[in-house]
Structure 1
Amino acid sequence: MFKKLFGKNKEVNKDSEIFAPLTGEYVKIEDIPDPVFAQKMMGEGFGINPTEGEVVSPIEG
């Protein structure tokens, strides 16, 4: 089991599809109006300013 999780098996599952959870404009993390995120206290990242009113799960199941 652990060999499967941490081993050097680099198999790629080509049958998976992952969809974008929303559409919008890229926002640099420094420009997010929340100091915790803007100062990278939670680590690196980015924001998305949504252009539609719906956010969906990118994966089913």
Structure 2
Amino acid sequence: MFKKFFKNQNSDNSITILAPIDGEMIQLEEVPDPVFSEKMMGEGVACKPANGKVVSPVQGKIIQVFPTKHAI
């Protein structure tokens, strides 16, 4: 199902992951939610959106948006 999002690029088995959002990658510590910034959910990165749009590779419905609009 997700094969079209992962493409083998090099013989060293590195992959390219297509992003559902245009923007700048930032450290989790910069996210204004302590659950993420204190890494309670684990390691990762966040994206600061360039144009305010997030697209989905699947059909669905957003059922909750946090007041700060940093997580859906």
Give TM-score, length-normalised by structure 1: 0.61
In the TM superposition, residue 17 of structure 1 has moved relative to its aligned partner by 2.0
Question: Which structure carries more strand by proportion?
Answer: 2
> Identity rate of aligned residues, in percent?
47
Give the aligned partner of residue 44 of structure 1: 43
RMSD: 1.7
Structure 1 unaligned regions, length at least 5: 1-15
* Deviation of the 1:60 alpha carbon: 4.5
Q: In proportion to residue count, which structure has more helix?
A: 1
Instruction: Please give the per-residue CA displacement for 1:11-40, whole angstroms capped at 9, x wherever unaligned.
Output: xxxxx3224211000110111111111111
When Rg is computed on C-alpha atoms for both structures, the one with the higher figure is 1
Equivalent residues, number: 45
Q: Which runs of 4+ in 1 moved over 4 A?
A: none
**TM-score normalized by the length of structure 2:** 0.53
Gapped runs of 5+ residues in structure 2?
Answer: 6-17, 60-72
